[in-house]
Structure 1
Amino acid sequence: MFSPAPSNKQTIRSKIWTSLLPHALPDSRFNLDFSSFIPDFQGSPLATERLVALPCYKAAQVVFITPDNCLEGLRLHALRAGKKVLVTTYAIRRGFVLLEPDVIERGGGRFEVAAMLDGMEKPEIGRYVSLAELRAEGVKVGLCVTGTGAVSMRGVRFGKGHGFFDLEWGMLRRVGVVEGKTVVVAVVHGCQIVDEAGEGMGLGLGEMRPEEWDTVCDFIVTPERVVEVEGVVKPDCGILWERLEEGMLESIPPLRELRELEMGEL
């Protein structure tokens, strides 16, 4: 989201990506280039089982789920459970897509197709929604779920380095679709969790604090366990326009829309 990224975060990413290689599943486009996508991994169905057992998931009627490979099974489970699923397109380039189980069924679509990134944008499956439409329709997300490159035990995420999830949170927070109390969950392989001492990395993560725009996670879910993070405070700064990476405003339509809404004072 913001440039430049702290150098120690990039060091963490590089080391985690090396650890993840034996467990990751290749992407059809990017193979194992983790700088381009968040991979699925061996055991991700077990992580999904742990997540869907959480009370915050059961209570949510609308779930925001990022377009990460490891979350395809979760998107499918949510649709089968009758939940609406809000997703962003890859790199947010075509904005947000709303998946509504009743609409998909009436149109003869299949949930298995809707859960896939190549399927969710088909006309009979998903509906593109603007920020203004989300606000006007009163959409309230009860739970946000994201994959990530790495995550600390304090719930601080280190993704591909662009900060797309922080952008998504900032936009949705600004128009009232999420609130400060909205629960955020990270789904990762166990090797993607970094302890506070930076075990095996020579990194003093205990000294690292979230930036003001970092959307810290309330829960970290792996195939083996669920970690609850205490004392989480979510960002309420919206989008820090002056800190955007070059070209983001031009390539991400919802950012341009939000800028216009803010100029009109929402």
Structure 2
Amino acid sequence: MTNIDQAKQAVRERVWRQLIDGGGAPADSYGKIPGFYGAEGTAEQLAGLDEWRRASTVKANPDWAQLPVRVRALKDGKRVYMAVPRMASLEPFYLLDPKNLGLPPEEAAEKKGAAQVARRLGVESMEAIDVVVCGSVAVNRSGARIGKGAGYSDLEVALLIEAGLVTEKTIIVAPVHQLQVIEDDIPEIEHDFSVDYIVTPDEVIPCPNRRRPRGLVWGDLTPEKIAAIPVLAQRRPS
């Protein structure tokens, strides 16, 4: 573990503890993208953004904390690309189309429901994305974020950037509890991306320092990580 990895982990552990101790999330949230209390309010706040109203396509993580946003997107008539858990497929995204769901939005937007009714797609079959919704453990007001440490959000965004589906027009948002918004600096390396908006149950916080990778940073990936994710193994440079 590098010094930056250690610094990020220290931030995670502090935020998990203050979130749980502060009553912002259940006790079993430690070590996860927290399913924080009041997540439904983040969907309402996000729906008030002009960028959301104009969006036709949303990409979201499959975490429980983002379920209300996925549901809201479907109810608002937006197509939702939801990452297959752990990107464990050559077609690592589910497509939830509000015109053809087969289940109520509340069920279709869950991991179990999506696995039942959604089509799996590779990036070559996807359309440009207007809004990326990313799960986070901690964010600061400059837009730097930390996930739970598995790296899937970074890989998904990098893959979509390489495919030309996440562009300068795409906004990235982090729905979180207020206790996950910190004042500290968050260390960033080449593959990290920042968010354009932090969305809490009570407010939307614009973030000024946009940061995005140009694509996959192969030097940051271990052979084990590449082998475990089919779409990476397929694309690995020779």
Task: Report the TM-score, using the length of structure 1 for normalisation.
Answer: 0.82
CA distance in 1, matches of 2:223, 2:19: 30
Letter in 1 for 2:76: A
CA distance in 2, matches of 1:256, 1:8: 29
Correspondence for 2:193: 215
Equivalent residue for 2:182, pick from 184, 194, 208 = 194
Counterpart contact for 1:131–1:258, Cα < 8 Å: no
Say whether 1:23 aligns with 2:24. yes
Correspondence for 1:202: none
CA distance in 1, matches of 2:232, 2:123: 9
CA distance in 2, matches of 1:44, 1:209: 26
- Give matches, 1:14-163, under 5 Å: 14-21=13-20, 22-25=23-26, 32-35=28-31, 37-94=32-89, 95-104=92-101, 108-122=102-116, 125-134=117-126, 139-163=127-151
How big is the shift at 1:246? 4.7
Correspondence for 2:205: 227
Letter in 2 for 1:132: E
Would you tell me which structure has more helix in proportion to its own residues?
Answer: 2
Counterpart contact for 1:180–1:234, Cα < 8 Å: no
How big is the shift at 1:214? 1.2
Correspondence for 1:12: 11
CA distance in 2, matches of 1:110, 1:258: 36
Task: Point out the more displaced range, 216-225 or 245-254.
Answer: 245-254
How big is the shift at 1:257? 3.4
Deviations 1:116-168 (A, max 9, x none): 1111011xx2000012222xxxx010010112010111111111112211100
Rg larger in structure: 1
Correspondence for 2:232: 255
How big is the shift at 1:218? 0.5
How big is the shift at 1:7? 1.5
Q: Secondary structure, in 3 states, of the residue corresponding to 1:70?
A: helix
CA distance in 2, matches of 1:89, 1:68: 11
Q: Secondary structure, in 3 states, of the residue corresponding to 2:216?
A: coil
CA distance in 2, matches of 1:158, 1:110: 32
Counterpart contact for 1:34–1:160, Cα < 8 Å: no
Deviations 1:194-219 (A, max 9, x none): 11xx3xxxxxx2xx553221110000
How big is the shift at 1:48? 1.3
Instruction: Tell me the number of residue pairs that the alignment of Structure 1 and Structure 2 aligns.
Output: 233
Moved beyond 3 Å, runs of 4+: none
Counterpart contact for 2:57–2:130, Cα < 8 Å: yes
For the structure 1 residues 246 and 192, does the alpha-carbon distance in structure 2 shift closer, same or farther, using more than 3 Å as the test? farther
Deviations 1:54-100 (A, max 9, x none): 11111110000111111111111111111100011222223211111
Structure 2 gap segments, 5+ residues each: none
Task: Report the TM-score, using the length of structure 2 for normalisation.
Answer: 0.91
CA distance in 2, matches of 1:255, 1:51: 32
CA distance in 2, matches of 1:84, 1:257: 27
Q: Secondary structure, in 3 states, of the residue corresponding to 1:23?
A: coil
CA distance in 2, matches of 1:220, 1:19: 18
CA distance in 1, matches of 2:221, 2:52: 32
Aligned-residue Cα RMSD (Å) equals 1.8
Say whether 1:239 aligns with 2:177. no
Structure 1 gap segments, 5+ residues each: 27-31, 199-204
Identity across the alignment (%): 31
